[in-house]
Amino acid sequence: MGGHTDQLIGALFRVLADEGHGDAQQLLLETYQRKAMDDREELAQNLFVDCLTVLNERLDAEDEADVLTTAIQYLGNRLTTVIEAVPIAIVVVDTDGAIQLWNDGAARMFGWSEAEMHNRQYPVCLTATPEITDSFGDRLRSGESLAGIEAQHRHRNGSVLDVRIWAAPLQDTDAGFSGATFAISDITAQKQRAQRLSVLNRVLRHNIRTDINVIQGHLSMLADELPADNRHVDVMEQRLGNITELSEAARCIDQLEGDAEGGVTPIDLGAIVDERLGRLEADYPSAEVTASVPETAPAVAHDLLPYALDNVLENAVIHNPSSTPRVDVTVSEPTPDDDYLTLRIADDGPGLPPAEREVLTTDTETPLSHSSGVGLWLTRWIVRSADGRVGVEPSASGGTCIVVRLLRPTVD
């Protein structure tokens, strides 16, 4: 309400200036400035009444009506321009679902003109998923808004479009529900691309696993006939391991893209860190691992967080040329005014290369700025999928410290 009041006052101020009512404009300005220091809700409720009083005192009835009409027309023209310019479909329906407004974006998206769609039933002529859209009317009539609901709508040429819908009820002061406004975006290309990438991902990972198993079997038989320290066998085994890790990373990315919101859940970070450190010590017995972790450390994270922690912990060991690489892990409980729990994984290695460090500070990967693998990118995506933060800073022992900050669970 407050924002709309501000816009109307601004329109009145502009019209008064354009039509030469300088004294009324000045008094209106003084009234607005005085009221603007008050509570915003109270301002929205009372300011317009005060402005009408100012107009009534300074203008005769004809000029007052002309100023108000011009101001409303000014706002209407601005709103119309916005509605026609946006690249999405804007549809307004009445209480019976009959279309009353159909913008240019809707005409481009669905192929019908405004004249063809006026007074036609929105659910009947557009929706291709009645099991979803049948509930829209009841929810809107109850005062509920719709946010980002996926459905399918028909195009004039007979094709079916995947769409995402936002909607809000229109409320009449006297009669209550008087219709609804819909904002609809076409996500067909996005959905098709996601489906194709998912299928391609699964096929490639299946084929890669199958081929690796075959190659490893033949390599094992060849290794039996060669000296134990044959360099060529070692290189091939290492490369096969890299491909296996890449396939696992691709699986995690596919899962992350598929359920980025659904996979976010409350966790005990302390328990997860203890478990992953136990695995690290078992896999790398030469490493010196120290930890300072509270008994319980509630946080919010994606289900794939353990994979991200494994990646950071293993990097701290395998990229350290020392015979006894050191890894120090701490979990800091948040202060009362901090919403984040902080995990630090520090090592005494040679430091993170610039390309790897850039992964944690940029939003996109380019051909000229890329990391040697996808591990850090995946770590960053996993942490950020739960509104967490990840960064890098020097460690006290001269190496690298990866800092992961996770939101605390909201307590009702």
Alpha-carbon distance of 372 to 358, in angstroms, equals 12
Residue the block writes with tokens 């701290």: 316
pLDDT at 79 over 80: no
Alpha-carbon distance of 63 to 58, in angstroms, equals 10
State the average pLDDT for the chain.
Answer: 77
> pLDDT tens-digit profile of 200-225?
667 676 677 788 888 888 888 888 88
Alpha-carbon distance of 191 to 213, in angstroms, equals 33
For every residue of 71-125, DSSP letters joined together read HHHHHHHHHHHHHHHSSSEEEEE-TTSBEEEE-HHHHHHHS--HHHHTT-BHHHH
> pLDDT tens-digit profile of 355-402?
777 777 666 555 544 445 567 777 888 888 888 888 889 898 889 999
Q: Which residue has the higher pLDDT, 290 or 84?
A: 290
pTM over 0.85: no
Pairing relation of β-strands 264-268 and 99-102?
unpaired
CATH of domain 86-186: 3.30.450.20
In DSSP terms, 366 is beta-bridged to 369
Number of helices followed by number of strands (H, E) in the chain = 14, 12
Single out the residue of 10, 2, 8 nearest to residue 42, CA to CA.
Answer: 2
Single out the residue of 96, 95, 94, 101 nearest to residue 118, CA to CA.
Answer: 101
- Domain 264-412, CATH class in plain words: alpha beta
Identity of the amino acid at 188: T
> pLDDT tens-digit profile of 301-336?
888 888 889 889 988 998 888 899 999 999 987 777
- Residue 15 region, left (φ>0) first, then alpha (ψ -120 to 50), else beta? alpha
Contact between 371 and 331 under an 8 Å Cβ cutoff? The reply is no
- Rounded CA Rg of the chain: 31
> pLDDT tens-digit profile of 160-188?
888 888 888 887 666 677 888 888 888 88
C-alpha distance across the termini of the chain, in Å: 28
Angle between helix 375-384 and helix 231-258 axes, rounded to 10 deg = 20
Q: Which residue has the higher pLDDT, 192 or 300?
A: 300
Alpha-carbon distance of 41 to 303, in angstroms, equals 42
Q: Which residue has the higher pLDDT, 48 or 66?
A: 66
Please report which helix (H) or strand (E) contains residue 162, including its range: strand 160-172
